[in-house]
Structure 1
Amino acid sequence: MFRIYLCFALMIFLVFAPKFSSYNPSMSDFLSFYLAPNSNHFFGTDMLGRDLFSRVLYALRNSIFIGVCASSLALVFALFYLLLARMFFYNFFMRILDLFLALPSLLLMMFFQSFIEGSFISMIFIIALSHYAFIAKLFESELRALEKLEFYEAALVLGSSKIRAFFKELLPPCFSLLFLLFVLNIIHAISTEATLSFFGLGLPFDIPSLGNILNDASKAIFMGAWWVIVFPLLALLMLILPLLWLSNFLQKYWGIHL
């Protein structure tokens, strides 16, 4: 329960991130570049004199927003895909799903993102599109097991349509699995966004992002500005680790083995 409370506390803290910093994360001060951590700048400043603490706070909020939205959209894509597969050409849709899983998702995202202007909407859509196949494959194996049970066959015999039985009979027993996949996919989405932004294919540079900050940090290492590297990495770990703890706890609590 402590890990669950820690996750919720972290989410609330990130939502109200602007209240904890008096600096504009995009405002440059060329007289204060590469300042070490002090009482005014808790995490120091970067190469443009921007307050690193403010940038990290806003970057974490942007990352969790993209992670939650992309994970939710990926679940919607997976559910719609599996429902469509049960209505038309099941084997064909399953082969397409295997094809998506065989492709290197990161390279595929980098390819499409190179043709699209970076924004929150494009990042959320591309990440969801590249992650839904993994969710659909795991969810499909659970659905196949449930379809062999008597309660589902009885619902069809009593006149329930496949669409109605899908939502009324198959989905409720899978809520725990879906929530666990939702949490795990948030972690993947956050890591993916940071990776794409690091290579310049994610959010624009004027929007604070952990990937953008770490991209700037790769130049700061030659200037001895260790704080530009250490604090963003610690922030990324502090964002991902509680979610990993929560997912491990849920797997043990619900007895789910992925």
Structure 2
Amino acid sequence: MKILYLLSPLFLALFLAFFAPLFSSYDPNFGDVTKLLFAPNLEHILGTDMLGRDLFTRILYALKTSFFIGLLSSFLTLVLALLYVFVARLFFYTFFMRLLDMFLALPFLLLMMFFSGFIEGNNLSMILMIALTHWSFVAKLFASELKRLENLEFYQAALVLGSTKIKAFFRDLLPPCFSLLAVLFVLNIVHAISTEATLSFFGLGLGFEIASLGNILNEASKAVFIGAWWLVLYPLLALLILILPLLALSGYLRKCWSVSL
């Protein structure tokens, strides 16, 4: 029950985000030049930004965008990692593991900044870019866990009883890895949200026309010097509402399943 209380801010934020039109009649990209930099008031409960857009509406749509990117990129990361390890176990395992170490040595953030200059900054490209630069870490942990399980008696017994390596992989090795993969999935959502926010903050992520927490904070960095505190405070709180409950969930799952990373 305690974990439900910890996740309740996230559930509330996502509920508001996915049903944003029910809670706000404003367009997240429509600016009103007569309402530039309004402080929080009864009409705009979180104020307006430098273009006169309602900040509450922008944050709701940004929460949905950031969570959507985090969820799908984390799922794609796991799929790529699982496929890589599975193929490696079928052909030239040592070569693929050395290749994996090479991928891990690459500075993924610099790579993302480099490739972001050549691709369009939309949701799909951000999901692909995050997944393609994060799968190697998951693959390394997954491969290490499989190596540990291979030395246990249940796997050796399965091979002795006539099971092929492919059947043993799906029937005997993969199920015990579920807890590890579940924890990595949650942590990857957090990391993907943080990565998107970081890149968008520096103008290298999503296009400026897309409402995301990184883009809102990028705009807020220009307004902080003129005393528009609400443009910094509320987007940061929204980012924490996304990240902290997910970190608590990952810690809870690690404790329940005794997962070590």
Aligned counterpart, 1:105:
108
Aligned counterpart, 1:74:
77
Residue number among 156, 159, 166 corresponding to 1:156 in the alignment: 159
1:189 paired to 2:213:
no
Aligned counterpart, 2:43:
40
Contact 1:17 1:61 in 2 (8 A): no
Q: Which amino acid aligns with 1:252?
A: K
Aligned counterpart, 2:34:
31
| 1:8 Cα deviation after fit | 4.1
Q: Which amino acid aligns with 1:60?
A: L
Residue number among 222, 226, 229 corresponding to 1:226 in the alignment: 229
Residue number among 228, 246, 255 corresponding to 1:252 in the alignment: 255
Residue number among 74, 93, 97 corresponding to 1:94 in the alignment: 97
Aligned counterpart, 1:62:
65
Aligned counterpart, 1:3:
3
| 1:202 Cα deviation after fit | 1.2
Aligned counterpart, 2:135:
132
| 1:10 Cα deviation after fit | 4.0
- Point out the more displaced range, 246-255 or 181-190: 246-255
1:141 paired to 2:138:
no
| 1:16 Cα deviation after fit | 2.0
Q: Which amino acid aligns with 1:201?
A: L
Q: Which amino acid aligns with 2:126?
A: M
Q: Which amino acid aligns with 1:143?
A: L
Q: Distance in 2 between matches of 1:76 and 1:201?
A: 26
| 1:139 Cα deviation after fit | 1.3
Structure 2 regions of 5+ residues with no counterpart? Answer: none
| 1:165 Cα deviation after fit | 1.5
Contact 1:18 1:58 in 2 (8 A): no
Q: Which amino acid aligns with 2:201?
A: F
Q: Which amino acid aligns with 1:205?
A: F
The alignment's C-alpha RMSD in Å is 1.3
Q: Which amino acid aligns with 1:2?
A: K
Q: Distance in 2 between matches of 1:55 and 1:13?
A: 12
| 1:18 Cα deviation after fit | 2.9
TM-score normalized by the length of structure 2: 0.95
- CA deviations on 1:28-78 (whole Å, 9 max, x unpaired) are 101101000001111100000000000011001100000000000000000
| 1:9 Cα deviation after fit | 4.3
- CA deviations on 1:73-109 (whole Å, 9 max, x unpaired) are 0000000000010011111111111111111111111
